[in-house]
Amino acid sequence: MSKTIKFATIAATLLMVAFTGCKSQNGVKLPKTLTRNDGHMEVMVKFEYDDKNRIVKMHDYHDKKLFSTGTVTYDNDGSVKIVHSYVNKAEEVWEKRYAKNANIITVRSTRSYEDPFFTDTITVNKDGYIVRRRRSGSCTDAGWTEISTFLYQNDNLIRIKEAGGYRDFIEFKYDDKKSPFYNDKTPKWLLQDLFPNTGLNNNITEHKEVGVDPDGAFVSLTTYTYEYASDGFPNKQVKSESENATITYQSGAKNSLTENTVAQNVVAEVAKGGSLAPTKIDEFTSWNVFGKYKGKFTTSSTLAPQGNIHYSAKNLESGNLQAAWCEGVDGNGIGEHINMNIEIKGKAQFTSLMVVNGYAKNQTTWNNNARVKVFRLYVDGKYWSDLHLANIIKPQIFHFPSHLKIEPEEGHQVNLTFEILEVYPGVRFEDTCITGIALDVGGS
């Protein structure tokens, strides 16, 4: 049977209850306090962040009195250390070290007031999520080991398969709204370790556990419902078991410029060279790639498939955020290109262009991969304009001025070529990706 490790911060239990919050006024929206009241004690966790929007302190309060403080430090190699100190027991310190080597993280937890400690070996995927965990006891807890494997769908954890413990598996279901940690830049694997029952992208609506304990086989199901603010963050969560909690938000650091400012800066830069910049930053939606006409994409190279995930030009025809084209050459793809071929029937005029830059299925994937900074646009092999893209995940709209309008002849096949001139580098990968290109084609 699994041994219960009683080191977890109180914060790990708070997000599975109820939320209310206030809207962040500047920067991104991050959790400030999480407060739970089970009728016996009020427990609150207050967060502090660095200028990269990563958690650096967690203050635990019991009935409004400070109980402990956890301090988080980050090393350049990706390793992390958390030290918890206790107000009324200065001699007690709980320390947890995460030693990172490529996609393997070794976790060692120790407590000053007793001998036992445990070790974890965590494997993460390319997006930074845990895919396997091996946990073992040591000292007086020697002789037990648990191995868990993690399955994801749309970057949400949907199933944990366990071996060596009393649970066989855990399953989760989610809503389509933003988790309180949606904007948090703390490594995903660390958030998963600190808050194991909390969605990082969307909010958990069902938590089901199946297993066998000393009393026999069991199935445990917990459900959650939410009320949301207009920005998609939960204001309130109601748990099937009666517990009440509140959440307040704070403004995180502006790691990048706001969308409007980014677009304005690109416009100012482009004005010097006479090229095109986005005139509008749009909201996410699905899109009709070729308007009312037939068309197809071809590309100069394609990144090799990663398991069941493909990155071909066909993805550009899907009109959704879950798929992207990624170039497949060494380096960041300078000189690689996308061809967009359209069969025109009747009179037509190209009035605007929409681009979804990068791999936009979620913020983490978008950050990890490179994005296009400048496209050089050719029409039927002739230079037309340079498109200066903003470094943002949302769709960017380019309107063609009168001297750059594209008016193909009736019945003509028009070919648009988008050549990569410059890129914004990714955090982890050199692969440059584009999620979508679509035309607003006017005419008859």
- Flag whether the pTM goes above 0.85: no
Pairing state of beta strands 413-424 and 371-379? antiparallel
Which one is predicted more confidently, 365 or 93? 365
Residue 40 is predicted with a pLDDT of 82
Q: Report, as an integer, the average pLDDT of 140-158.
A: 79
CA distance 196 to 212: 21
Q: Report, as an integer, the average pLDDT of 24-43.
A: 76
| Mean of the per-residue pLDDT values of the chain | 80
Residue 412 is predicted with a pLDDT of 76
Q: 3-state SS of the chain: helix, strand, coil percent to 5?
A: 10, 50, 45
Which one is predicted more confidently, 281 or 343? 343
With a cut of 60, say whether residue 8 has pLDDT above it. no
Residue 256 is predicted with a pLDDT of 40
Which one is predicted more confidently, 314 or 252? 314
- Binned at pLDDT 50, 70 and 90, residue 269 comes out as very low
The domains located in the chain, with CATH, are: 11-251 (2.40.160.190), 259-443 (2.60.120.260)
Strand partners, 348: 443
CA distance 315 to 293: 18
Residue 138 is predicted with a pLDDT of 54
With a cut of 70, say whether residue 273 has pLDDT above it. no
Which one is predicted more confidently, 152 or 442? 152
pLDDT (tens digit per residue) in 384-419: 889 999 999 888 888 888 777 677 777 678 889 999
Residue 88 is predicted with a pLDDT of 75
Q: Report, as an integer, the average pLDDT of 252-276.
A: 52
